[in-house]
A and B are shown apart, each in its own frame.
Chain A
Amino acid sequence: MPTANLDLIYEKWKASLREKDRSREFVSANFDELFDAFNSAGATFEEAHAYLQQAIKVHLPAPGLAKATWKMVKNNPVNSEMTEKEFIDGWHKDIGDKATNSFYHVYPLPEDKDDDKEPKVYGSMSAKEYKLQRRHAESYPILNTEELEKDLQCNAYNPTEDILGEDDNG
């Protein structure tokens, strides 16, 4: 699926969000619409997944709106134990969770069927599977742990004592 087509679907959805009801009960439906559109256009799991985070971001409430909403609801007894930050974080999380649920509803993770019919010669892996795993691992540089091991021998450094030269009690 050409990326340009998906970009177009995404931009169209993003623009339509301005007109949409973005309140709590419509969040899932809004995301369903995007991922259904991707699916209908033939986007793969990986292609659609690439848009998940940005779609969540554009659905988040504007800071001013979030603040104003908090001011309206903060005196509600159900919010009495909550701070503004907790309220807004919870709001963001709810949108993120609904988007993720919607995504996996449209693009369910495939069952872990073992379609690799080759004999398992490396534990649970066929030679082909094993080769891919190894290629992946070897694409990462090896960390030089010798220096780190030497550093670990040093004691915890306390700049309060070492620089100010005093035992700080308060």
Chain B
Amino acid sequence: MANLSKDQIDAQLKKAGVATTKEVDISFDDINSFGSKDSIRKMFKSAANYNQMLSERLTLINESLTAAIPFTRENLYLFCAYTGSGKSTVAANISYPLWKQKKKVLIISNEEPELDVIFRIACLEKGYKFNDFKKGRMSQEQQMECFRLFEDITEYVKVIDVVYKDGITTKIEGVKKLMENVKGQGFSCVLIDYYQLIKDSINDKERTRYDVLNDLRVWLGQYIKGCEIPVVLFVQLYSQGKRPSKDIDMRIKECSAIVEPASVIIEIVPNIEEEYSDFIIHKDRFGVAGSRIMCPFRNGRFLKQQTERERTERKLDKLVAPVPQAVSIGGLGNTLSTGADYDAGQKLAKMS
């Protein structure tokens, strides 16, 4: 091995956090200069940079969520839900306003096919129920209206689905490669739907699902630090019935350590009778953890939270309204349950 020069040794020491003697000479003047105009300017500049990062926030679904949770670069956002509680609906709701603002989005979907991902967004634009399409209840005219939007939507919303290249969206190497490739390509964000289905490794077929997921979470932690866009990861939860706990990591399936690299963790819990979903904020580096935002649900869209007064009026309206004979699941319930369930998603991934 060649000998290192003094400069190279110094550089290595500096990199290792071991400063040379000359560099660690600190005088009293150095300490006393804290509080000088220069040092204050430096702190103000850091504050300005942080404010700049916050001001670059993207729209997150609606005004309420955008205001509460800065959706911005260098952050990993987890959206967690029990099966059938609206993960894919939320993915469409995140993509929809970004498409309207002509911002590029990459959706890595290892559960839903590309047609469904794009059709959901088209339905949001038209105000149609996506589930009507899935159940064959949507008229030909309405379908045509949606299909006409496909060219425009797909110009901005890029989908890599479960059948793409023999199912690389379920393989850790495939997901890493896709995400490396979008760096610096003008995308506004990446959505991965969903975490637990990235369960295989091309390079090592013997790896357990836990190992693969754990490897991915470590890699994601490093990726987001050097990435100019936010990453949204959808995560499957156990229900309160199966795991009665307030701790989100106790309810995350397969690899709960994914909570570590996440800046924000939001749980989605639908209220089907009253047609809204609660977005419970479990972790948030921006300071609103431990609370929830109630977003009314209309034709697939999560609308902004109502004011306290509006919520009270709505409750009073319900009190005077006739009692329904049976709980309708034709609206929200059906729409939310259209996301294939966990087992079905796994089967689909295996088939691919």
Q: In the bound complex, what is the Cα–Cα distance between A161 and B337 (angstroms)?
A: 51
How many residues on B have C-beta within 8 angstroms of the other chain's C-beta atoms?
A: 69
- B271 engages A134 (CB within 8 Å): yes
The answer to whether B280 and A140 touch across the interface, beta carbons within 8 angstroms, is yes
The reply to whether A128 and B45 contact each other, CB–CB distance below 8 Å, is no
Asked if B41 is an interface residue, CB under 8 A from chain A, the answer is: yes
DSSP majority for the B interface? mixed
Structural contact, B48 and A158, CB atoms closer than 8 A? yes
Comparing A10-18, A26-34, A35-43, A97-105, the segment that makes contact with chain B is: A97-105
A83 touches B16 (CB 8 A): yes
Q: Mark B47-61, 1 if CB is under 8 A from A, else 0.
A: 110011011000000
Within 8 A of A (CB), among B10-34: 12, 15-18
The interface residues of chain B lying within 8 Å CB-to-CB of A19 are none
CB of A57 closer than 8 Å to a CB of B: no
Q: Tell yes or no: B254 within 8 A of A by CB.
A: yes
User: In the complex, how many angstroms separate the beta carbon of A66 from the nearest chain B beta carbon?
Assistant: 13
| Contact partner, B41, options A110, A139, A164, Cβ 8 Å | A164
Q: Which residues of B contact A151 (CB under 8 A)?
A: 67
Q: Identify which of A109, A110, A136 contacts B246 (C-beta below 8 A).
A: A136
* Cα separation A145 to B18 with both chains bound (whole Å): 47
Which of A84, A124, A140 has a CB less than 8 Å from the CB of B16?
Answer: A84
Size of the chain A interface, CB-CB below 8 angstroms: 55
Chain A 110-136 interface residues, beta-carbon cutoff 8 Å to B = 110, 112, 116, 121-125, 128-130, 132-136
Minimum CB–CB distance for B206 against chain A, Å: 15
List of B residues within 8 angstroms of A148 by Cβ = 64, 67-68, 288
**Which residues of B sit under 8 angstroms from A128, Cβ to Cβ?**
241
Determine whether the beta carbon of A158 is less than 8 Å from that of B51: yes
* CB closest residue in chain B, given A70: B16
Asked whether any CB of chain B lies closer than 8 Å to the CB of A72, the reply is no
Tell me the residues in window 139-157 of chain A with beta carbons closer than 8 Å to chain B beta carbons.
Answer: 139-146, 148-149, 151-152, 155-157
User: Which residue of chain B lies nearest to A149 when distances are taken between CB atoms in the complex?
Assistant: B67
Q: Which of A46, A93, A124 has the largest number of chain B CB atoms within 10 A?
A: A124
- B272 interface residue per 8 A CB criterion: yes
A168 sits at the interface (CB 8 A): yes
Instruction: Pull 26 A–B residue pairs with CB atoms less than 8 Å apart, ordered by A.
Output: A82-B16, A85-B17, A101-B211, A112-B238, A123-B336, A124-B82, A124-B84, A125-B82, A128-B241, A133-B85, A133-B241, A136-B246, A137-B280, A142-B291, A142-B294, A143-B292, A144-B308, A149-B63, A152-B63, A152-B66, A156-B55, A160-B44, A161-B48, A164-B37, A164-B40, A168-B44
Q: Which 3 A-B pairs have the closest CB atoms?
A: A124-B84, A156-B55, A123-B337
Q: Report which B residues bind A (CB closer than 8 A).
A: 1, 12, 15-18, 37, 40-41, 44-45, 47-48, 51-52, 54-55, 63-64, 66-68, 82-85, 210-211, 214, 218, 238-242, 244-246, 250, 253-254, 257, 267, 269-272, 278, 280-281, 288, 290-294, 304-305, 307-308, 327, 329, 333-334, 336-337, 341-343
